[in-house]
Structures are given as C-alpha cells and as structure tokens.
Chain A
Amino acid sequence: MTADQVKKTLASAVPGLEAELRSRPVGVRTRVEVPELWATVSREGLVPAVAALKAAGPLHISVISGRDAGEGIELLYHFAVGYGTPGGEVTVTLRVTVSKSDPVLPSICHLLPGAETSEREKIEFLGLSFTGIPSTAHVFLPDDFPGHPWRKDDPETAKLVNRLVEWEGKNG
C-alpha cells in the first residue's frame, strides 16, 4: 500500500480529511523518500479513520503522544500501516484536539486492542477520558497520584514541582 492509497482511503472514510505528505529523504548511495502522512481529524472522525487504516493493511500503533496546547489538549496518534514488505510501511499521524471543558474521546481499543496501554497513559497524564476503553487503571502513576502531570494548568502538579524544588534546596 502506497502513501497515496492510504491518503485516499482516509479521505473516503472521513469526508474532508486532507492528509499532508511529509516525505523523509533516506539513504546515502540511493536516496529514497520514506512516506509520512500527517492529518488533523475531528473527534468524530477518529474511529472511522482508524477503521479505514485497519482495513488498508496490517495496522500498528506506536504510541499516542499528547500535550496541553493551552485552550485544548492535542493528541497525536502515531500509526504505521502495512508492515511486512521492505520499505512498504507508511507512517500515519492523526492529530485530534479536544477542549478542556469536554476532554472525552472515543476509544479505539475495539479496533486495535494494542492501543489500550497508550490510552490509559493519557488518562492519568492529561486527564482525558475515553469512552469504551476496557480498563481505566493507571499504568505508570500511583493510584492516589494527585493531578495530571502533563497539564500545564494543573495546580496539583505545580504543588508537586514546588515541593521538589524545596527538597532540592533550590528555593533559598
């Protein structure tokens, strides 16, 4: 499956979804362009987009990365479509932004069970919630950990950092 085909698959699954191709030039003697697709998708379009990727070829999710983008929370789903042939895998990153007042996303675990660890990690670090996720147990932080450390407006994290700074003796 080529990057163009993946792009078309995405566009037909989610109307208006325009994936940007950012090729990565690789190699010394023979230069090849390794395809990378980046697309911004709405919360509603996420599940159809992932379903289309899954239908396109063997689908692998590397990780979901996320950040506090001020007004909203931005999540990046890093997929790779079509392993098994040399140079034949296409990296696809889907960018989803949700507002802080309604930080809820649909889970993609029913399509790709391997996404569960990554979704659970986002719950504890960014304070999101996923509908339909099989388990919401913490992955990395203790169960009673206060706050969500990757949120920049999180008072509990600020308190924690202050305590660490005091503990290191850098406050005085």
Chain B
Amino acid sequence: MAETQNVYEIPIGPIHPALKEPIRFTFQVEGERIRGVDIRTGFAHRGIEFMAMKRNLIQILYLSERICGICSISHPIAITLAVERAAGIEVPPRAQYLRVIYSELERIHSHLLWAGVAAHELGFDTLLHLTWKVREQVLDLLEELSGNRIDYALPIYGGVRRDVAPEQIPKVEAMARYYRGLLDELLDAFLRDPSVEARTRNVGILTAEEADSLCAVGPTARASGLSKDVRQDRPYLVYGELGVKAITPRDYGLEPRGDVYDKAVVRLLEVAQSLDLIEKCLYEMPEGEITSFPKVPALLAHLKKAEGEGLGYHEAPRGEVIHYIRLEAGVEEPMVWKVKAPTYSNLMSWVPMFRDQEVADIPIVAASIDPCMCCMDRVHVVRDGSPGTVLKEELLRLSREKTERLTRHLSPVPRHGGAA
C-alpha cells in the first residue's frame, strides 16, 4: 500500500500466454523510481504434478517435456535421472554423451532467444532480428537430430531415443563453426555497444550476498559473481569428465556487479562454452547402445516393479532444475513427483533487482533473469483511484525513449570489455 501520497501503485500483468508462469508485478512507484514490488505467480498453474498422480511414468515423461517449451530437454533429463536413480537403471555411455550434446544445443538456442528478447526490450530491433536469425541455425540442427524444433522427445529412462548418425556429424560441426565465426560479432553488438552499456550497466543489480541468501540459480547467480553451476558442483552424466567451469563476468575480465550487463556477458560466454562441450562430446563419444531398454513394454514392466526414491538435477539454460520422484512397487503412478524449475528459485531475486530502478527499466530488469519475457501485455496504472491502461507498447516506448536520450551524447566504448 502507498505510504505517502507520492507513492503510486502500478500493477503489471498478469496474463501472458508466452510465459510458463505468467506473472503480476505490483510496483510501488515514487515519481519515476520503483520503491518496492509485489510479485504474484501462478496464473497458468496447470497442476502438472497433480496430473502425474494419475499417469504412468512414460506418460509423465512426455508431460515433463511440456512443462516448458524452451526447456524441453532439461525437464526430461531431470526426470529420467531421478527415475533411473529410484529404479536402479543404468544409462549406456553413448547415451550420456548424447544427452549432454542435446542439452547444450538447447542452451545455445535458449541463450540466443534471451539475447534477442533483451535487445528488443532495449529498443534494438535490428539486434533482435540478427540474433533470432542466427538462432535458426541451432533450431535447424535440433530439427535434423530430433525431428522437431521444440519438444524433442529425446531422453527416455535408460538412455535416449535417437542417435547422432555419422552423416549428421558434419552438420553439427558446421553449426559449431558457424557460431564460432559469429560470436565475436555478437559480443561486439551486445557488450561493446555504448547504448546497450548505458541501458544495462548498474541496472537491476543483484549483489553476490543477495544472490547467495535468496538461492538464485543459473546465469542470474553467476552474473553476481557466484561460481554456482550444477554441471560443475554436482557432476552428473559426463559433465564431471568434461571439466565444466561456472562462467562469471571474471572470465571476460570484469569484476562482477550483478547487473543486466553482467547477465548478458555470462549468457553470451556460455554459448561458446556449450560449443566446446558439444565438440568434445562428439570426439570422445564411444560407440555403443543408446538405451538399456530398447523395448518400451519391458521398460514399463521394470518401472512397475521398482521401489525407491530419487533426485534428478540438471543445469537448464536458466539454472538448476530438480525433480524428486518416489516409486512404489506394483503401482504404475509415482507416489510423488516434485518439479522445481529455475525461475522458481530466481523469483525472489526480482525484489532487490527492481528496487530504486526507473519505470522505463522494468522491461529489461524483468527480462534479465530470463523468465521468457513476451510478458508485458498489459499495464494498469492506478492514479487518483481511477484506473487507466498502459499497453505494452507504451512501456516499450518509454524504454526506447530512454535509450535515445542516453545515447545522444555517447561515443563508442573501447573494445575489450566494457568496464567504465
């Protein structure tokens, strides 16, 4: 509630079909400054965990893929790891490498998606179109490998459903070459651009202490300087052997500040890291089976007899995803299936990030944790008790005007890092 007569409330949201969890923000605003925010989620809660109580594990696998369109490899990987742990299923070596390849491809397309959204929120639609154009390359490759642009149906309990055929390997290599050649251009466009820097430096700051106590995950935590990456900290699949290191702005020669700029640094560097991992996997991957249960009825019969509990975790593009499952012998449905997506952990990080920011910075700060931000559909401004409506376009206009205002007197920053 407003404490003084100068503090107004601006509710933003809640219905945003593109988000897996549409969100309503209620900002307390004093002039142009945000003094506080109240966050409400759950507007698209579909009760997936509840639905799973009536389904067998194979059906749940496909359900898990539909938790999020962008993370449609991450959730199946987490649930397969949990179920394999609970039911004592071994995964053949080749399948473990293939899972890593698929999830790193997913990370590349997700980070590029984010970069495009971030550019759009800042008013750089040229950059949005460039990023999304180059993103097509990895989506084409995923389509080549799985048959689909999203919802790939690749992991299954005991392995994966599709192999990378020898004739497909040159296509994977071509994709890696393509992005390596482009990466410098992308880093240039995002990190050495004076107007991007003006709009993202010292905006939406999450300090290392806040990130630690609020248990932030993924690039949101790493941008604040925390060396926190499930692939590094709790090895699974073959990530331990691949030697994954959590990427922070220090890898770009910058002291982490935890602002939006740092989040862009981390995500763009992670694209390069994913390319390395994919290439390593391609060369190190042994020949062999891709699943320990080639016949689904045999798998179902094994799962029905299984008794136990297990945890499966994975570093999704947005951070840690964790699934807990408990199976009981003789029952096809799991007793419990708990899903935790990365945005769930990053939700509370928004509160310190929004504090004392400008209204025009709402789109980019909200987008900075990467919650799939086609979000700002509708804004209601309640002023003098008479509600009016500000559309997404209006908020975007404010954001773009700020960019123009800031860049009018800017000269390009020197190359090699954008530290001011």
Contact = CB atoms under 8 A, between A and B. Distances in A.
B311 A91 contact: yes
B286 interface: yes
A116 B346 CA distance: 12
B241 A27 contact: yes
Interface string A138-163: 11111000000110000000000000
Nearest to A74: B336
Given A65-B324, A84-B227, A114 B235 contact: no
B150 interface: no
Contacts of A83: 226-228, 233
Interface string A92-123: 01000000000000000000111111100000
B214 interface: yes
Interface string B210-237: 0011111100000000111000111111
A45 to B, nearest CB: 21
A131 interface: no
A137 to B, nearest CB: 8
Select the residue from B41, B234, B244, B245 with max chain A CB neighbours within 10 A: B234
Nearest to B50: A149
A117 to B, nearest CB: 6
Interface stretch (B62-70, B271-279, B295-303, B337-345): B337-345
A76 interface: yes
Contact of B234 (A58, A80, A141): A80
A171 interface: no
A63 interface: yes
A27 B322 CA distance: 19
A34 B214 CA distance: 25
Given A61-B215, A150-B50, A86 B233 contact: yes
B327 to A, nearest CB: 12
B11 interface: no
A62 B226 contact: no
Interface in A35-61: 36, 58, 60-61
B348 A87 contact: no
Contacts of A32: 235, 240
A29 B348 contact: no
B234 A89 contact: yes
The prevalent SS among residues of B at the interface is: mixed
B45 interface: yes
B280 to A, nearest CB: 12
Given A32-B235, A88-B233, A149-B47, A139 B226 contact: no
Select the residue from A36, A62, A76 with max chain B CB neighbours within 10 A: A62
A5 interface: no
A106 to B, nearest CB: 18
A27 B91 CA distance: 10
A112 B42 CA distance: 23
A83 B319 CA distance: 14
Interface string B71-102: 00000000000000100000001001100000
A93 B347 CA distance: 22
A65 B336 contact: yes
A126 to B, nearest CB: 11
Nearest to B93: A28
Contacts of A29: 241, 284
Contacts of A140: 41-42, 45
Interface in A5-31: 24, 26-30
A117 B344 contact: yes
Nearest to A111: B213
B217 to A, nearest CB: 8
Contacts of A28: 93, 96-97, 238, 241, 286
Contact of B235 (A62, A84, A87, A116): A87
Interface of B: 40-42, 45, 47, 49-50, 85, 93, 96-97, 212-217, 226-228, 232-238, 240-241, 243-246, 284, 286, 311, 313, 320, 322, 324, 326, 335-336, 338, 340, 344-345, 347-348
10 contacts: A27-B235, A28-B286, A60-B217, A65-B324, A76-B324, A89-B234, A113-B214, A115-B215, A116-B348, A117-B348
What are the nearest 5 A-B pairs in CB distance?
A114-B215, A65-B338, A140-B42, A89-B233, A63-B340
Interface of A: 24, 26-30, 32, 34, 36, 58, 60-63, 65-67, 76, 78, 80, 82-89, 91, 93, 112-118, 137-142, 149-150
Given A60-B217, A85-B233, 19 more contacts: A28-B238, A28-B241, A30-B241, A34-B235, A60-B215, A62-B320, A63-B322, A65-B324, A78-B324, A82-B233, A84-B228, A91-B313, A112-B215, A113-B214, A114-B348, A117-B344, A140-B41, A141-B45, A142-B42
